[in-house]
Amino acid sequence: MINGVINESSTTQSTLETRHSDVLVVGAGIVGLAHAARAIDRGLSVRVIDRDHQAVGASVRNFGHCCITAQSGELYDLARHGRELWLHYARESGFWAVESGAVVVATTATELAVLTELAQLREPGQIRLLTPAQVAAELGRQDTVGIIGGAWLRDDLRVDPRTTVAKLAAWVDTRPRAAVHWNTSATAVESGITRRARVNTSRGAFEADQVYFCVGHDVDYLFPELAEAHQVQRCALNMLRTQAPKGLDLAPAVLTASSMLRYQAFTEVPSARALHDELAAEHPHLLAIDANVMFTQRPDGTLLLGDSHRYAATQDPFLDESTSRTLHRTIGTVLSGHDLTVIERWQGIYASSPRGPLLVADVAEGVTVVSVTSGVGMTVGFGLAERNTATLPHRQPEPAPC
Ligand SMILES: Cc1cc2nc3c(=O)[nH]c(=O)nc-3n(C[C@H](O)[C@H](O)[C@H](O)COP(=O)(O)OP(=O)(O)OC[C@H]3O[C@@H](n4cnc5c(N)ncnc54)[C@H](O)[C@@H]3O)c2cc1C
């Protein structure tokens, strides 16, 4: 046993039957399902287990923004590779995905300088600077008050976080050699006993040649030493949903100045330091809640607004109303003229680590732990899955029965 607890007394006889597959994925969030999808497309048999009755983790609580353009280095490579896969699986499984791009709103010369500097580093056309009138038009605003320009990030995508994971899970479940088992909690993993790795669960044992643990921020429940070594924490974010503002049809994700402090491609340009200092002087309340003020519009017209960041090993479940109000008020300025009546609030949690944005660790033969330890799992999930599954064998599909 590598870690975890086996509670034999609670395991009934009917659940003791061991199930085999080429690949077992623990966790049916976007990271787990992306691994499952890539393994299926190599012709492998795949099982996915999730402790819940449907996915309710980070993958359904976010903006659905595949923030490709603003990544840098390894994350940029993963995001770009993942882009085609997002579009491929949207076609396959029928979830909503659009090549929407993103708009960044600039309200000061420093913000515009950051956008200009990044645009100059990228291929022509990938980042296009916008006039105040163009930004206002994107936002459905009649005026340009407070806007001095902005930028269009061509390559970003959007999906609907509330429906994507369910549709992808349903697609996985209906593949001939795959299945998704809900309400099935992994409790421990063993390897080296047989040729395969064995995962003990609340519904008996599952065996596979390759197991991927994609349990998001709960990696510390199953692998506490690994999580400790990687300094994994939980990052909690306040989020809000508003009613659909009349007449607003917003395809791109919308980012603002505080977003530029959170994505590496922006923070690497020379004016990023000045932007930080400017926000600290002009909008300390945004830095105090570690804000990334941004929003997206769902296909039903409602808006997802966020977000703040709070770090702890275990998060308090309580939402600070003043934080939510700050986010709501700030976005109210960006979308002035629109009615932003709030209809829902929630807390999202994702894994975070000061050691790096990704945790990928082979903890035993055929057992890999995968957690995106920064807030970009929607952006890099498919690229990461593609990389992690690249060494799996390809199998010919089984002949159809006569
Ligand atoms: C508010 C918010 C906004 C965000 N915005 C964006 C964004 O716009 N763009 C972006 O790229 N990223 C964004 N992120 C980050 C992104 O949502 C996450 O990085 C990503 O969803 C993580 O996916 P996951 O599959 O690892 O985790 P999850 O979606 O949390 O899935 C993990 C799954 O594992 C299951 N599980 C856990 N333990 C067990 C167990 N023992 N046995 C069985 N199952 C288990 C859980 O039930 C869960 O379904 C945001 C996150 C939040 C919270």
pLDDT in tens, 120-146: 999 999 999 999 999 999 999 999 999
Section 46-67 average pLDDT: 98
pLDDT for 2 equals 34
Q: Does residue 26 form part of some domain? A: yes
Separation CA 295–CA 292 (nearest Å): 9
Separation CA 114–CA 180 (nearest Å): 45
Separation CA 45–CA 52 (nearest Å): 22
pLDDT in tens, 340-382: 999 999 999 999 999 999 999 999 999 999 999 999 999 999 9
CA of 30 from ligand 1 middle (Å) equals 7
CATH code of residue 247: 3.30.9.10
Is the pLDDT confidence value at 31 over 90? yes
Q: Domain check: are 122 and 184 in the same one?
A: no
Separation CA 371–CA 213 (nearest Å): 8
Q: Does residue 67 form part of some domain? A: no
Alpha-helical regions (H) of 94-198: 109-121, 132-138, 161-173
Residue 222 Cα: closest atom of ligand 1: 41
Section 158-174 average pLDDT: 98
CATH code of residue 13: 3.50.50.60
Section 195-207 average pLDDT: 93
Residues with CB under 6 A from ligand 1: 26-32, 49-52, 55, 57-59, 61-63, 65, 67, 185-186, 214-216, 218, 222, 237, 239, 306-307, 348-350, 371-372, 375-379
Is the pLDDT confidence value at 13 over 50? no
Q: Domain check: are 304 and 179 in the same one?
A: no
Is the pLDDT confidence value at 396 over 50? yes
pLDDT for 14 equals 39
Q: Domain check: are 217 and 360 in the same one?
A: yes
Q: Which residues contact 234 (CB under 8 A, 6 or more apart)?
A: 217, 311, 312, 313, 314, 315, 349, 350, 351, 352
Question: For the chain, what is the domain count?
Answer: 2
Element (H, E) at 311: strand 310-312
The pTM (predicted TM-score) of the whole model is 0.95
High-pLDDT (> 90) share of the chain, %: 92
Is the pLDDT confidence value at 4 over 50? no
For ligand 1, atom 53, the nearest C-alpha belongs to 348
Residue 296 Cα: closest atom of ligand 1: 8
pLDDT in tens, 315-326: 999 999 999 999
Counting Cα atoms < 13 Å in the Cβ hemisphere of 23 gives 35
Q: Domain check: are 344 and 241 in the same one?
A: yes
Q: Does residue 296 form part of some domain? A: yes
Would you call 65 helix, strand, or coil by DSSP?
Answer: strand
Q: Domain check: are 288 and 271 in the same one?
A: yes
Q: Does residue 123 form part of some domain? A: yes
* Average pLDDT score, the chain: 94
Which among 321, 47, 324 has a CA at the least distance from the CA of 207?
A: 47
Q: Domain check: are 140 and 176 in the same one?
A: no
Q: Domain check: are 323 and 186 in the same one?
A: no
Separation CA 192–CA 174 (nearest Å): 31
Q: Domain check: are 149 and 181 in the same one?
A: no
Q: Domain check: are 217 and 240 in the same one?
A: no
pLDDT in tens, 207-252: 999 999 999 999 999 999 999 999 999 999 999 999 999 999 999 9
Q: Domain check: are 190 and 135 in the same one?
A: no
- At 400, the pLDDT band (50, 70, 90 cuts) reads low
Separation CA 248–CA 94 (nearest Å): 25
pLDDT in tens, 185-199: 999 998 776 778 999
- Residue 51: give the domain boundaries: 3-59+163-229+356-388
Separation CA 244–CA 292 (nearest Å): 22
pLDDT for 397 equals 63
Q: Secondary structure of the chain: what % helix, strand, coil (to 5)? A: 35, 25, 40
Is the pLDDT confidence value at 399 over 80? no
Q: 165-190: buried (b, 16+ CB within 10 Å) or exposed (e) per residue?
A: bbbbbebbbebebbbbbeebbbbbbb
Is the pLDDT confidence value at 8 over 50? no
